[in-house]
Amino acid sequence: MAKILKTSSRAINAPLSPIRKFVPLLQKAKKRGLDVFELHIGQPDLKTPAAILNKIKNFDEKIIRYTPSNGIPEVQSAWKKYFKDFGINFDESEIIITVAGSEAIVFALTTVCDPGDEVIVFEPFYTNYNGFSAMAGVKLVPVRTLVSTGFHLPKRAVIEKKISKKTKAILVCNPSNPTGTVYSKKELQMIVDVAKKHDLFILADEVYREFVYDGEKHYSIMDFPKARLRTIILDSVSKRFSACGVRIGCLASKNKDVINGATKFAQARLSSPMVEQLATVPLLLNSKAYTKKIVKEYKKRRDAVYEGLQKIPGIQCLKPKGAFYITVKLPVKSAEDFTRWLLAKFSYNNQTVMLAPAAGFYASKGLGKDEIRIAFVLSAPKMKQAMKVLRIALEKYNDKF
Ligand SMILES: Cc1ncc(COP(=O)(O)O)c(C=O)c1O
Give the pLDDT confidence of 67-79 residue by residue, as tens digits. 999 999 999 999 9
pLDDT of residue 131: 92
pLDDT of residue 56: 97
Instruction: Give the C-alpha separation, 218 to 300, whole Å.
Output: 19
Q: Cis check for the bond before 357: say yes or no (omega within 30 of 0).
A: no
Instruction: Give the C-alpha separation, 44 to 239, whole Å.
Output: 7
Instruction: Give the C-alpha separation, 216 to 318, whole Å.
Output: 15
- Say how many residues make up the chain: 401
Instruction: Give the C-alpha separation, 378 to 181, whole Å.
Output: 20
Instruction: Give the C-alpha separation, 40 to 20, whole Å.
Output: 8
Residue 400 has pLDDT above 70, yes or no: no
Flag whether the pTM goes above 0.85.
yes
The one-character DSSP state at 1 is -
Q: Which residue has the higher pLDDT, 18 or 187?
A: 187
Residue 81 has pLDDT above 90, yes or no: yes
Cα 101 to ligand 1 centroid, rounded to whole Å: 5
Cα 104 to ligand 1 centroid, rounded to whole Å: 10
Nearest by Cα to 349 from 35, 39, 40: 35
Taking the CA of residue 177 as reference, the ligand 1 atom at the shortest distance is 1
Backbone Cα Rg of the chain: 21
The pLDDT-based confidence of 167 (bands split at 50, 70, 90) is very high
Cα 313 to ligand 1 centroid, rounded to whole Å: 32
pLDDT of residue 15: 83
Nearest by Cα to 359 from 22, 12, 43: 22
Task: Report the share of the chain in percent with pLDDT over 90.
Answer: 93
Q: Around 246, how many Cα atoms within 13 Å sit in the side-chain half-sphere?
A: 31
Give the mean model confidence (pLDDT) for residues 143-164.
96
In this structure, the residue with its CA closest to atom 4 of ligand 1 is 101
Residue 324 has pLDDT above 90, yes or no: yes
Taking the CA of residue 247 as reference, the ligand 1 atom at the shortest distance is 10
Cα 249 to ligand 1 centroid, rounded to whole Å: 9
Beta carbons of 249 and 236 less than 8 angstroms apart? yes
The pLDDT-based confidence of 1 (bands split at 50, 70, 90) is low
Instruction: Give the C-alpha separation, 233 to 221, whole Å.
Output: 8
In this structure, the residue with its CA closest to atom 5 of ligand 1 is 101
Nearest by Cα to 159 from 184, 193, 113, 185: 193
Burial of 401 (0-12, 13-18, 19+ CB in 10 A): exposed
Amino acid identity of 85? D
Rounded to 5°, the CA angle 248-254-257 comes to 95
Cα 169 to ligand 1 centroid, rounded to whole Å: 19
Taking the CA of residue 325 as reference, the ligand 1 atom at the shortest distance is 16
Taking the CA of residue 100 as reference, the ligand 1 atom at the shortest distance is 11
The pLDDT-based confidence of 2 (bands split at 50, 70, 90) is low
Instruction: Give the C-alpha separation, 301 to 343, whole Å.
Output: 23
The one-character DSSP state at 363 is S
Start-to-end CA span in the chain (Å): 51
Mutate to test the pocket of ligand 1, among 207, 241, 251, 276 (most ligand atoms within 8 A of CB): 207
Each residue of 241-282: pLDDT tens digit? 999 999 999 999 999 999 999 999 999 999 999 999 999 999
SS3 359: helix
Cα 308 to ligand 1 centroid, rounded to whole Å: 26
Residues with CB under 6 A from ligand 1: 42, 100-102, 126, 173, 177, 205, 207, 236, 238, 244, 249
pLDDT of residue 401: 59
Cα 129 to ligand 1 centroid, rounded to whole Å: 10
Amino acid identity of 117? D
Give the mean model confidence (pLDDT) for residues 277-299.
97
- Main-chain dihedrals φ then ψ at residue 231, nearest 5 degrees: -100, 140
How remote is the C-alpha of 203 from its chain's centroid? 13
SS3 123: strand
- Main-chain dihedrals φ then ψ at residue 40, nearest 5 degrees: -90, -20
In this structure, the residue with its CA closest to atom 11 of ligand 1 is 101
- Main-chain dihedrals φ then ψ at residue 121, nearest 5 degrees: -135, 155
pLDDT of residue 322: 97
Beta carbons of 72 and 96 less than 8 angstroms apart? no
Cα 128 to ligand 1 centroid, rounded to whole Å: 8
DSSP 159-218: HHTT--TTEEEEEEESSPTTT-----HHHHHHHHHHHHHTT-EEEEE-TTTT-B-TT---
